[in-house]
Chain A
């Protein structure tokens, strides 16, 4: 009979799931907190922000980027378009 899932009574975060002991190494990657001492409302805001991010990242790249990627892979900077000037304070 498979072992039941139950929380660690010691509160250490370890948990047995069907015979496998999960510990902190099995935790999913930490997601960025919105602020020190994240509040509940911060969590839902971050969750929605990440959802927007995830949705955009899951989209196929538009044609313009496929062309751009082709140019990047050839790495001919002169083909990447006209020199568009300084990057402002981004020139770090």
Chain B
């Protein structure tokens, strides 16, 4: 790698860390684990820096490394946040439909109940600034699959949280849910 490219990559790595932390935190829902993921990602990126093609999307490359490590790690350990019995959903179902105090804790908890692939797609599209095509590359699936995952994730969150605070909750059998809301 040329000095100029190496310098650009160094700068890119430094700049990417806060964004990677945000992605990792959203993905795994745990601060310490997220920071470990990012640290490992940077370490791997440096160790494999010759495999990065200058001029291509460094952020997408880093996110790919991070999510691969996340899934690899996830195979070894059981998810800490689970909702297998639907307890979280049941608790939320008891909430008033119009709850202006819907807070971020509920949102982040609900986010963690989504299947990993759906959560990943939703985060990268909704906050990561990536296009569907880029997420398709990162995740190694077709664009249509990414769109389907985002749609299902949105439907599930809407189902769990009842929609935005202060607005009318949609009935559970709206077309959005019917189109992709089944788990």
Task: Please tell me which one of the listed residues B17, B48, B126, B158 contacts residue A91 in the complex, with CB atoms under 8 A apart.
Answer: B48
In the complex formed, the residue of B with least CB distance to A65 is B17
Given the interface pairs A35-B147, A64-B35, the reply to whether A88 lies near B68 with Cβ below 8 Å is: yes
Whether B30 sits at the interface, judged by CB under 8 Å, is no
Number of B residues near A (Cβ < 8 Å) is: 60
Contact of A57 among B10, B21, B38 (CB under 8 A): B21
- Say which residue of A61, A73, A89 sits within 8 Å of B17 (CB atoms): A61
The answer to whether A86 and B170 have CB atoms under 8 Å apart is no
Name the interface residues of A61-92: CB closer than 8 Å to any CB of B.
61-62, 64-65, 68-69, 71-73, 75, 77, 80-81, 83-92
The interface size of chain A toward B, counting residues with CB under 8 Å, comes to 44
A15 within 8 Å of B (CB atoms): no
Q: Does B28 make an interface contact (CB < 8 A)?
A: no
B61 within 8 A of A: yes
Main secondary structure of the interface of B (DSSP, over half): helix
The verdict on A44 contacting B39 (CB below 8 Å), with A57-B21, A90-B65 known, is: no
Given A46-B126, A48-B104, A84–B47 Cβ distance below 8 Å? yes
Tell yes or no: A20 within 8 A of B by CB.
no
Closest to A68 in B: B42
* Distance (whole angstroms) from the CB of B23 to the closest CB of chain A: 8
Q: How far is the CA of A32 from the CA of B44 in the complex (A)?
A: 29
**Chain A binding surface, main DSSP class:** helix
Q: Give the shortest distance, in Å, between A1 (CB) and chain B (any CB).
A: 36
Q: Is the CB of A62 within 8 A of B47?
A: no
Interface string of B15-57 (1 = CB under 8 A from A): 0011101110110000000010011101111111101010010
CB-defined contacts of B51 to chain A, threshold 8 Å: 87, 91-92
Question: Known contacts being A35-B151, A73-B10, is A83 close to B47, with CB within 8 Å?
Answer: yes
Residues of B within 8 A of A77 (CB): 46-47, 49
10 A–B pairs (Cβ distance < 8 Å), ordered by A: A34-B125, A40-B167, A49-B123, A61-B18, A62-B35, A65-B35, A68-B17, A69-B17, A72-B46, A83-B47
Which residues on A are within 8 Å of B, measured CB to CB? 32, 34-35, 39-46, 48-54, 56-57, 59, 61-62, 64-65, 68-69, 71-73, 75, 77, 80-81, 83-92
Given contacts A52-B127, A77-B49, 10 further A-B contacts (CB under 8 A): A32-B126, A45-B122, A49-B26, A54-B22, A59-B21, A72-B46, A81-B46, A91-B48, A92-B56, A92-B64
